[in-house]
Structure 1
Amino acid sequence: MLTEPTITAIRAVWAAVHSPSGLSFPAAASSLSALGVSRYRVDYIARTATAYVGTDVDVAPIPSYSTLAGSQPWDISKLSAGIKNAQAGVGIYEDFSKAAIEAGVTDYTAYLEGKRVVYSGALGDTHTEWFPGAKKD
């Protein structure tokens, strides 16, 4: 079971990510890793972020950036463009989320230790994006 201070710290990271100034993916990943988070899952339909620390979890509500979540067809070109913009530091998390949702992403899991993010669509489409500079298996 996660301690209250750990839950509070994880949720502070989510608050920073979703703030008007945003928090970059590298900064968020670093902060979450320092808290022992090995992976996290963002579900755009349920509007939750689930952080995994060992076998313990924290499920936090997140803002909804689009009413289209789950209704858009999978479009890898749009997803790739959104990822590229985020990696280049263009925009904030809200911009990335809108682009991902418009590309048909319903949820994604960031594997911090595995250095990759797996994006999923409503019909089972997936795309794996390695962290910049990560060594692929």
Structure 2
Amino acid sequence: MDDHLAAIAADCLDGAETGSRTFPGIVATLMRAGFESYAIDFRRATATYYRPDGDSVALSAPRHAVSIAETFDVPALQAAIREAQQLVPGYTYGGFCTKAMAAGCVGYVVSFPGRRAVYSGRTGETHVEHFPQ
């Protein structure tokens, strides 16, 4: 992947972590740059950004100080997602990640053409969250 595209992906990851970018803004930026999806892996602390031609860039993501729960608690995960969507006071992406991991989420994939995020648990459970309209 060329340096310019990798820098866009890195800027979006940093923007999520610092709170300077919202999810809709990140998605719009990545789509304009030609990305079609990204994956967050909490176990490896990585974020991988994909283009339709198979090109990708994997970046180190911050490691969160919580263990991933053994049980996939979809209602708890949905509550964390709703907080993110509503940008409730005190919301941070790091806080979202901590709550998702405490709910047993090992990571998620965001598909721009599919307009959804698919969250996964330790034993292969999934929860699909469609983008808000």
- The answer to whether the aligner puts 1:73 opposite 2:56 as a matched pair is no
> For the Cα contact (< 8 Å) 1:24–1:92, is it kept in 2?
no
Q: Does the residue aligned with 2:119 lie in a helix, a strand or coil?
A: strand
Q: Does the residue aligned with 1:45 lie in a helix, a strand or coil?
A: coil
Percent of aligned pairs with the same amino acid: 28
| 1:70-118 CA distance string (max 9 Å, x none) | x431101101101111111120211111111111000100001110000
- 2-structure distance, mates of 1:112, 1:76: 22
Match of 1:15 in 2: 14
> For the Cα contact (< 8 Å) 2:72–2:104, is it kept in 1?
yes
TM (norm. structure 1) is 0.90
- 1-structure distance, mates of 2:122, 2:76: 16
Match of 1:37 in 2: 35
> For the Cα contact (< 8 Å) 2:66–2:102, is it kept in 1?
no
Q: Does the residue aligned with 1:80 lie in a helix, a strand or coil?
A: helix
- Structure 1: state its 5+ residue gaps: none
Question: RMSD of aligned C-alpha atoms?
Answer: 1.1
- 2-structure distance, mates of 1:81, 1:117: 15
Runs of 4+ with >2 A deviation: none
Give, as a single letter, the amino acid of the residue that structure 1 aligns with 2:113.
Answer: E
TM (norm. structure 2) is 0.92
- The answer to whether the aligner puts 1:63 opposite 2:62 as a matched pair is yes
Q: How does 1:1-137 map to 2 (within 5 A)?
A: 2-19=1-18, 21-54=19-52, 55-69=54-68, 71-90=69-88, 91-133=91-133
Q: Does the residue aligned with 2:106 lie in a helix, a strand or coil?
A: strand
| 1:17-61 CA distance string (max 9 Å, x none) | 111x34211111111111111010000000000000121010000
> For the Cα contact (< 8 Å) 2:111–2:117, is it kept in 1?
yes
- 1-structure distance, mates of 2:115, 2:98: 23
How many pairs align?
A: 130
Give, as a single letter, the amino acid of the residue that structure 2 aligns with 1:113.
Answer: P
